[in-house]
């Protein structure tokens, strides 16, 4: 009876080791697959960047195209749309900045510029689009952006115009109360 228990115990330990090894091997394969998949997407994003640059060039010169040139430009745009649909089918979409504010988890600031009417961190332009996997909620490539960075001697570098107007209104109210308080004392 003891011998059977020992054999069963040995088999159980052996199976547990095998399960642990297989689990480890599976995790390694998953990591390898995910790394390969991310590299594939990054390369595809480079192709999309090339299509976007080509589209800008075509738009600038489209008026000069003959029939063949217009047909080629339509074909390029069609391929570009197909690539975007392929990504969307795999839950990969371009990152959008609805509030036009740079968020460091979604973008990388590559340059800054001053703009009197805008608050710091407002996006002036997107140099390279970023992409996100909506199913896994992971950023595959951060967008490269140019943002506002006003110098500190400019009021908009510290506060927005609305904030400045609010503060000016409060100052005016305080001055109005002080003026009325002074006239009642004389």
User: Is the domain of 102 the same as that of 86?
Assistant: no
* Alpha carbon distance 125, 132 (integer Å): 19
Sequence-distant (≥ 6) Cβ neighbours of residue 167 within 8 angstroms: 159
Q: Counting beta carbons within 10 angstroms of the beta carbon of residue 77, is it exposed (0 to 12), middle (13 to 18) or buried (19 or more)?
A: middle
Tokens encoding 37:
């998949």
Inside any domain, residue 64? yes
Q: What is the dihedral of CA 93, 95, 98, 99, to 10 degrees?
A: 160
Is it the case that residue 49 has pLDDT exceeding 90?
A: yes
The total number of structural domains in the chain stands at: 2
pLDDT of residue 186: 43
Task: Provide the pLDDT confidence category of residue 107 given band limits of 50, 70 and 90.
Answer: very high
Is it the case that residue 11 has pLDDT exceeding 70?
A: yes
User: Is the domain of 48 the same as that of 120?
Assistant: no
**Max CA pair span of the chain:** 112
Inside any domain, residue 186? no
Instruction: Taking residues 167-173, report their average pLDDT.
Output: 78
Instruction: Taking residues 102-128, report their average pLDDT.
Output: 90
Which residues constitute the domain of residue 133? 92-180
User: Is the domain of 71 the same as that of 102?
Assistant: no
> End of a domain among 41, 69, 90?
90
**Which residue(s) pair with 94 in the sheet?**
131
User: Is the domain of 112 the same as that of 68?
Assistant: no
pTM, rounded to two decimals: 0.68
pLDDT of residue 90: 93
> End of a domain among 73, 90, 107?
90
Instruction: Give the residue ranges of DSSP H helices in the chain.
Output: 2-61, 67-89, 161-185
User: Is the domain of 152 the same as that of 171?
Assistant: yes
User: Is the domain of 114 the same as that of 170?
Assistant: yes
Is it the case that residue 159 has pLDDT exceeding 90?
A: no
Contact by Cβ (8 Å): 110, 144: yes
Instruction: Taking residues 161-179, report their average pLDDT.
Output: 72
User: Is the domain of 79 the same as that of 112?
Assistant: no
Task: Provide the pLDDT confidence category of residue 176 given band limits of 50, 70 and 90.
Answer: confident
User: Is the domain of 82 the same as that of 142?
Assistant: no
Is it the case that residue 154 has pLDDT exceeding 70?
A: no
């Amino acid at each position: 009876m003891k011998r059977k228990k020992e054999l069963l115990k040995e088999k159980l330990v052996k199976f547990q080791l095998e399960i642990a090894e297989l689990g480890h091997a599976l995790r390694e394969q998953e990591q390898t697959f995910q790394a390969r998949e991310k590299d594939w997407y990054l390369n595809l994003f480079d192709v999309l960047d090339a299509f976007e640059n080509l589209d800008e060039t075509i738009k600038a010169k489209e008026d000069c195209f003959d029939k063949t040139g217009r047909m080629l430009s339509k074909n390029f745009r069609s391929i570009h749309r197909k690539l975007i649909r392929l990504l969307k089918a795999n839950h990969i979409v371009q990152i959008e900045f609805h509030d036009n504010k740079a968020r460091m988890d979604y973008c990388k600031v590559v340059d800054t510029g001053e703009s009197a009417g805008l608050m710091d961190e407002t996006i002036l332009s997107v140099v390279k689009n970023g992409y996100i996997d909506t199913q896994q909620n992971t950023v595959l490539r951060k967008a490269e952006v140019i943002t506002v960075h006003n110098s500190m001697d400019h009021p908009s570098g510290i506060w927005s115009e609305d904030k400045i107007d609010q503060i000016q209104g409060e100052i005016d109210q305080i001055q109005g109360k002080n003026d009325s308080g002074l006239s009642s004392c004389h």
